[in-house]
Structure formats: C-alpha cells, structure tokens
C-alpha cells in the first residue's frame, strides 16, 4: 500500500503494498469537523506524527526551507456527510440504498465558493502561494516561516529510522473565523517524501516462472517418494486456479456481473494490459472482453518511478484486472492509475472515481502500516470514502501480506487505509478446490516453510519458519464501527485498550500464493526481449479483486441496484449460509495441512537448480482463523448462498 510515501511490494506474494494513512473517523462515532483549539483557533487533530517526539527532536527547521502542502476542505456539512453515508449503507435504515448522484453529493456536501475564497485569502495573507485547487483541496507552497504562521505551529526536524524528517512540534490549527472550512492539512511532515519526475515508465519486470510439477486441483498430484508431513504425503502446489474454479468455489452460479462496473486503482499503468488481459482470457477459458469493457483513466504524467518501482505495479494491475474478469466476466472494468505510489496521487485516483461516479465497486490492493501515517491523511481518505458511500460506491482494500507485522516491523499492528471504518477490509485464505471444481475447504492464509534435506529424506526444521500471511488485527486509532458491535469478540476489539476498536478484516477470499491464481503478463525475458508468460500469484492483492468480482455478481443479483458501502450488509449476514466459516483446522484438530512447492533458484529456469520445500497452511503469525469472526478471515468467505442472499433486497 502506498501513501505520501513510496509503497512497498509484498515480495513472496507478488503483491504491491504501499504506504497509506491512518483512519480517522469511525462510523457513527465522531464528527469530521475541526475541534476548538487555542483562543481564536480550531485545531486540526492528528496532524502531528507519533514519531515526532521530544527525544527525536533535532531542532527547528530553517525558516527559508520550502514546504508544499495540501489543505483539504471540509465542505458544507462534513458531519452530515458521515451521517448520510451510514444511513444509506445500513440495511436497517429507512434511507438504505437511497443514494445521491455525484452532482447531488457535490452540491450538498462540497465546499462553497465562499469557503474556497476565504481559505484562499487566509493562506495568501500568511505568505503562502496557492498553486493548485480542485473540489477537495488547495495546494500551497511557501517557506517554513509562512507555514508556521498559517498553522500556528513550529516545524522541527526529527530523527526517524536513521533519517531526519520535518514535522510540526505541536498540533496545527486554523483561524476559527473559517467556520470549520478546513478538514485537515497534509505535507507538514515529509517522512519519507522523495519525489522525482520521470515522463517515461520503465519496461516490465524480469520474467518470473513457477517450477513444476503442479496440481491442477487440490491434491491431484502427489510425489510418494518425498517425506511425509502431518501423517501423510503432501500434494504439489496448485499451478494456479482459474476463473472457472474460483467462480464455483464462491457460488457464482449463473451470475456474471453484467451491468456492474468495477474500478481498480493502482499506481502507474501497464503498457500491455489490454493485450495481456485478452490473451489470458483466451488461454484460460474466460469470456472474451467486449468492446469498451476494459478501459483506463490515466494521469497526464507520472513521477517517482524509481522510488515506487513502477514496473512492479504492472503485475499488480494485471492481477487485479484478470481476477475481476475471471470472477465477473461480464462486468465492466475501469482502471484508474495514480501518477505515483504516493498518498496524494492515490487519493487523486480515488477522487476521480467518486467525482465522476466511474464505478459501483472499487478494488484496491495497496496500503501501508498504521504507524507510518498521521490521521490527517486518514481524514482525507475517509472524506472520499464517505462521499463514495452516499453515491452507492463501495471500496475494498487488501488487508496486507505480513500477518500481524511483527516479523517485518517488530510491532504488532494493522495496515492502512484498510483500517478505515468506511472500507471493506479483505483478508486471505488458503483454498482447496476439488476435481469437479467443488469447494473442499479453506484455512486462514499463513505459511511456514521447511526445505527438503540434502538427502531428500526429511523436511528440515519442520514445520519451518513463518514466511507470510493475511494481515489482520486491531487498530489503535480507529474506534469500533457500529456494524462490528456484537460480532467481533471483545478480546479482539479490546486487544490494545479497554475501548473497542476497529478490527480487520471484514471478509476474505483466496490469497495464499501456494493455492493462488494463475496470471498472465508481458515480462522481460532472459534474452532481454519482452513476451507474454504465466505464473501463479497470491497475496491479499488477489483476495481484494476476487471479492470485488463476487460483489459484482451480488449487485447483479440485486437487479443492478448498487450495494454501496457493503460492511453493514456483510455483517448483517454473519452466521448464515452466506459464508464459509473458515478455520485453520478444517479437517479437525491435529490434522495439519501442507503442499509441496518447487521453485527455480533463479526464478526463471532450472539452470541454477530447483528448490523443494514444504509449505504448511493455516499458520498466520500470531493470528488465527477460528469458529466465528476472526482477525484472519473476518466473517468468512462467500459461500453458495452469498450472491443469492442479495436477491429481493
């Protein structure tokens, strides 16, 4: 996931994971408006980063240093926006499903010309230059002294992770004469903000290939000469599930997503997406794309391509497009690319979807650690999500690929903006689909890896070390939304304090790279040429577009009426036949599950040898999939009754 910082890619799962921001507004809990601060000022809560501590303070930022920031506008009625977003999304509300058009939403909740004029005049009076504006924010530049004057705070330099970054030393504020017109300000801190400009996107990443043998369905191919595990011989990993298998597993039946539009937001844009998607569909039995069924909305230019590993995003876009089409073959897909992997550019992409009501459903496979951002950016994200909710748009975010994040960061925490109370957080599973495309079972996605011994007679250090797993857990910044009350166990909701907090995920789908999805993409081949190739992929970057596709089926079953922000409806169905209640021990306690996986040592061919390992399933860091709601799979995965449950509602 990405934020005003470069996003990181989840290597093992081949999933892009980039920085975002902390979720500020919990559904039905607090208002989006500014609070009264010092005399004559309204404070902008959450804009001072947690890492800007007195111990890390390295002194004042020089007055002449240049600062670029975004001043987000609260609009006419930010509290009313949050209330209406909840009402139209709650099946128990009389306003359920009574959405506004994009034009109506802007007229009712967008900023007035007077608000924009007053905020602009105030910024200029402080010595700042307004360099850009749209319906959501004003972009300003100026020196440190002018910024400090405008926001009544001091900017200091702070040590963080071996670097020094700028941040306010106290909570910024704005004049109360603006009457709450300012929602928040981003850019006062710049960690780690390395913007560069590049007009040309790089070529695709070097080819990645999976080594066989494979199973075509779960358990179809077993090497009896390999050591046993958990009392039996483990079969080879799946070659990669295809649309036919996933549609059967998640209850698609005859629904195809016809009449529904799914948007995908990522950074940059694959230059070969149209031909790759068409080739993949033809090779793997998916329906041919119709004219205009796949379209793109792209920025005029790109930036930060090196910092963001632009080529790495091509695979993310390809996975998202091909997975949505595989599950919902008649749904329209619009790809909305960001100019970079930074918060500002990704927010702009989401804003385009909402401002133009480009889609009903938005799949997002990016994010960052909750600890990396302030709630300032979260407020900006939540405003977009709430506006989308009143228009009947639902946002789906992958929960992450590092489990509780302790192995990668040393701290147990969730990701963002998947922690927002206004998005659907999608967790991950390991999926077993049988010979006749029948659903067999799922576990929570969590992998231990044990290598084959040199003599081939044992699995070394069995069951091995943790490698990856579905993200989940409890937020430290976002209060528990109303739809989770009575469903999420108190031990999870209160994991970090005595106050119930937002717990993720909400729902789940296949994510384990060892039971993953077959994807096709143009890549850079060993001889330097570019060509189409296929490989198995996983991560919650797979789970999110799969759920987006399932939601397209459900919307079709609802006679085309948008589901909108889905969480209240998702939790309303908790404990019914709509879901597979996923646990880590689907075959019973003490019956472990694993697959054998072969990998090319050089990721391309057998020239440098093949590495054989055993991948144990259902072992996600400190997180566990158990009976009922859990912090790996949420309420569960869509079952045969899920899509049909949206009929006649």
Among the ranges given (194-203, 258-267, 408-417), the one the predictor scored with the smallest mean pLDDT: 194-203
Question: How would residue 34 be classed by pLDDT, with cut points 50, 70 and 90?
Answer: very low
- Tell me whether strands 424-433 and 394-398 are parallel, antiparallel or unpaired: parallel
Residue 504, strand partner residues: 473
| Among 374, 319, 320, 321, residue whose Cα is nearest residue 160 | 374
Write out pLDDT tens, residues 359-406.
999 999 999 888 876 778 889 999 999 999 999 999 999 999 999 999
Question: How would residue 195 be classed by pLDDT, with cut points 50, 70 and 90?
Answer: very low
The answer as to whether 42 is a domain residue is: no
Residues 315, 309: contact at Cβ < 8 Å?
no
Residues 99, 391: contact at Cβ < 8 Å?
yes
Q: Is the pLDDT of residue 9 over 50?
A: no
Region 403-415 average pLDDT: 92
Q: Phi and psi of 131, rounded to 5°?
A: -105, -10
Q: How many residues does the chain have?
A: 649
Cα→Cα distances 114→197, 243, 626, Å: 35, 52, 54
The Cα 340–Cα 358 span in angstroms is: 20
The answer as to whether 275 is a domain residue is: yes
Cα→Cα distances 580→432, 548, 583, 640, Å: 13, 17, 9, 9
The Cα 642–Cα 576 span in angstroms is: 9
Question: How would residue 139 be classed by pLDDT, with cut points 50, 70 and 90?
Answer: very high
Write out pLDDT tens, residues 214-249.
999 999 999 999 999 999 999 999 999 999 999 999
Identify the DSSP state of 398. Answer: E
- What does the pLDDT read at residue 170? 87
- Tell me whether strands 473-479 and 8-10 are parallel, antiparallel or unpaired: unpaired
The Cα 308–Cα 2 span in angstroms is: 9
Mapped onto helix, strand or coil, the DSSP state of residue 304 is coil
The answer as to whether 630 is a domain residue is: yes
The Cα 163–Cα 433 span in angstroms is: 48
| Among 341, 337, 355, residue whose Cα is nearest residue 300 | 337
What is the residue whose two structure tokens read 């802007």? 106
The answer as to whether 290 is a domain residue is: yes
- What does the pLDDT read at residue 446? 97
- What does the pLDDT read at residue 383? 96
pTM (2 d.p.): 0.93
Residue 451 lies in domain: 243-646
| Among 327, 348, 310, 198, residue whose Cα is nearest residue 252 | 327
- Tell me whether strands 507-510 and 424-433 are parallel, antiparallel or unpaired: parallel
How many structural domains are present in the chain? 1
- What does the pLDDT read at residue 20? 29
The structure tokens listed for 134 are 């749209």
Residue 368, strand partner residues: 416
Biggest alpha carbon–alpha carbon distance for the chain: 78
- What does the pLDDT read at residue 575? 95
Question: How would residue 23 be classed by pLDDT, with cut points 50, 70 and 90?
Answer: very low
Write out pLDDT tens, residues 67-110.
999 999 999 999 999 999 999 999 999 999 999 999 999 999 99
Region 483-498 average pLDDT: 97
Q: Is the pLDDT of residue 22 over 60?
A: no
Region 455-472 average pLDDT: 96
The answer as to whether 440 is a domain residue is: yes
Strands (E) located in 288-330? 294-297
The structure tokens listed for 431 are 């999926």
**Percent of the chain topping pLDDT 70:** 91
The answer as to whether 68 is a domain residue is: no
Write out pLDDT tens, residues 521-536.
999 988 899 999 999 9
Question: How would residue 49 be classed by pLDDT, with cut points 50, 70 and 90?
Answer: confident
The Cα 146–Cα 410 span in angstroms is: 38
Mean of pLDDT over the chain: 90
- Tell me whether strands 173-175 and 41-43 are parallel, antiparallel or unpaired: antiparallel
Q: Is the pLDDT of residue 25 over 80?
A: no
Write out pLDDT tens, residues 331-341.
999 999 999 99
The Cα 315–Cα 302 span in angstroms is: 17
Question: How would residue 5 be classed by pLDDT, with cut points 50, 70 and 90?
Answer: very low
- What does the pLDDT read at residue 88? 98
CATH code of 566's domain: 3.40.50.200
The structure tokens listed for 27 are 């559904």
The structure tokens listed for 367 are 């994010």
| Among 93, 32, 79, 82, residue whose Cα is nearest residue 568 | 93
**Percent of the chain topping pLDDT 90:** 82
Question: How would residue 39 be classed by pLDDT, with cut points 50, 70 and 90?
Answer: confident
What crossing angle do the helices spanning 78-89 and 102-109 adopt, rounded to 10°?
140
| Among 360, 332, 338, residue whose Cα is nearest residue 350 | 338
- What does the pLDDT read at residue 36? 52
Region 310-318 average pLDDT: 92
Q: Is the pLDDT of residue 8 over 50?
A: no
| Among 149, 102, 105, 159, residue whose Cα is nearest residue 125 | 149
- Residues with Cβ < 8 Å from 232, sequence gap 6 or more? none
| Among 421, 263, 424, 418, residue whose Cα is nearest residue 355 | 263
- Tell me whether strands 182-186 and 66-73 are parallel, antiparallel or unpaired: antiparallel
- The answer to whether the Cα torsion of 588, 592, 596, 601 is positive or negative is positive
The answer as to whether 410 is a domain residue is: yes
- What does the pLDDT read at residue 28? 40
Cα→Cα distances 116→120, 140, 175, 253, 558, Å: 6, 13, 14, 50, 40
Question: How would residue 199 be classed by pLDDT, with cut points 50, 70 and 90?
Answer: very low
- What does the pLDDT read at residue 648? 62
Q: Is the pLDDT of residue 17 over 60?
A: no
Q: DSSP string spanning 423-443?
A: SEEEEEEEEEE-TTS-EEEEE
Residues 467, 461: contact at Cβ < 8 Å?
no
The structure tokens listed for 574 are 């908790």
Question: How would residue 14 be classed by pLDDT, with cut points 50, 70 and 90?
Answer: very low
The Cα 210–Cα 117 span in angstroms is: 58
Residues 393, 359: contact at Cβ < 8 Å?
yes
């Amino acid at each position: 996931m990405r934020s005003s910082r470069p996003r990181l890619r989840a290597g093992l799962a081949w999933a892009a994971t980039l920085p975002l921001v902390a979720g500020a507004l919990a559904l039905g809990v607090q208002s989006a408006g500014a609070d009264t601060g010092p005399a004559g000022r309204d404070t902008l809560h959450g804009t001072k980063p947690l890492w800007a501590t007195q111990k890390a303070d390295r002194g004042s930022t020089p007055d002449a240093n240049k600062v670029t920031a975004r001043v987000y506008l609260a609009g006419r009625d930010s509290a009313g926006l949050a209330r209406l977003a909840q009402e139209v999304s709650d099946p128990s509300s009389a306003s359920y499903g009574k959405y506004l058009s994009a034009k109506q939403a802007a007229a009712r909740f967008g900023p007035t010309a007077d608000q924009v004029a007053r905020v602009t005049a105030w910024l200029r009076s402080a010595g700042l230059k307004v360099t850009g504006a749209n319906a959501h924010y004003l972009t300003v530049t100026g020196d440190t002294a002018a910024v400090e004057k405008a926001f009544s705070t001091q900017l200091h330099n702070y040590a963080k992770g071996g670097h020094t970054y700028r941040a306010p030393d106290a909570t910024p504020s704005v004049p109360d004469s603006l009457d709450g017109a300012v929602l928040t300000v981003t850019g006062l801190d710049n960690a780690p903000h390395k913007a560069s400009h590049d007009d040309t996107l790089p070529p695709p990443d070097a080819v990645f290939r999976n080594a066989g043998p494979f199973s075509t369905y779960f358990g179809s191919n077993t090497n009896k000469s390999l050591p046993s595990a958990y009392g039996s011989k483990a079969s080879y990993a799946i070659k990669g599930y295809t649309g036919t298998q996933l549609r059967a597993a998640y209850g698609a039946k005859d629904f195809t997503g016809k009449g529904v539009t799914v948007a995908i937001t990522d950074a940059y844009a694959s230059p070969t997406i149209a031909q790759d998607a068409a080739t993949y569909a033809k090779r793997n039995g998916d329906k041919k794309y119709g004219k205009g069924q796949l379209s793109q909305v792209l920025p005029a230019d790109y930036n930060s391509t090196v910092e963001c590993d632009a080529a790495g995003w091509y695979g993310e876009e390809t996975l998202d497009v091909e997975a949505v089409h595989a599950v919902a073959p008649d749904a329209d897909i619009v790809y909305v690319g960001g100019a970079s992997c930074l918060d500002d550019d990704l927010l702009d992409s989401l804003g385009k979807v909402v401002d133009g009501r480009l889609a009903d459903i938005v799949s997002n496979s990016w994010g960052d650690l909750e600890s990396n951002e302030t709630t300032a950016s979260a407020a900006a994200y939540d405003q977009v999500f709430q506006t989308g909710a009143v228009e009947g748009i639902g946002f789906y975010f992958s929960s992450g690929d590092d489990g509780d994040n302790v192995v990668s960061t040393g701290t147990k925490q969730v990701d963002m903006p998947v922690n927002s109370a206004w998005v659907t957080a999608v967790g991950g599973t390991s999926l077993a689909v049988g010979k006749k495309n029948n659903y067999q079972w799922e576990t929570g996605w969590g992998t231990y890896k044990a290598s084959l011994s040199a003599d081939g007679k044992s699995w070394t250090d069995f069951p091995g070390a943790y490698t990856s797993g579905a993200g989940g857990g409890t937020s430290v910044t976002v209060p528990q939304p109303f739809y989770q009350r009575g469903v999420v166990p108190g031990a999870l909701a209160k994991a970090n304090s005595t106050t119930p907090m937002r717990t993720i995920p909400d729902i789940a789908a296949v994510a384990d790279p060892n039971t993953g999805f077959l994807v096709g993409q143009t890549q850079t081949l060993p001889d330097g040429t570019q060509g189409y190739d296929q490989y198995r992929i996983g991560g919650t970057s797979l789970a999110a577009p799969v759920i987006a596709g399932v939601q397209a089926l459900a919307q079709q079953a609802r006679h085309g009426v948008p589901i909108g922000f889905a969480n209240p409806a998702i939790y309303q169905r908790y404990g019914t036949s709509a879901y597979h209640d996923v646990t880590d021990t689907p075959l019973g306690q003490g019956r472990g599950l694993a697959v054998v996986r072969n990998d090319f040592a050089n990721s391309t061919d057998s020239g440098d040898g093949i590495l054989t390992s055993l991948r144990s399933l259902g072992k996600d860091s400190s997180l566990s999939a158990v009976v009922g709601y859990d912090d790996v799979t949420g309420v569960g995965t869509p079952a045969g009754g899920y899509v049909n449950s949206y009929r006649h509602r």
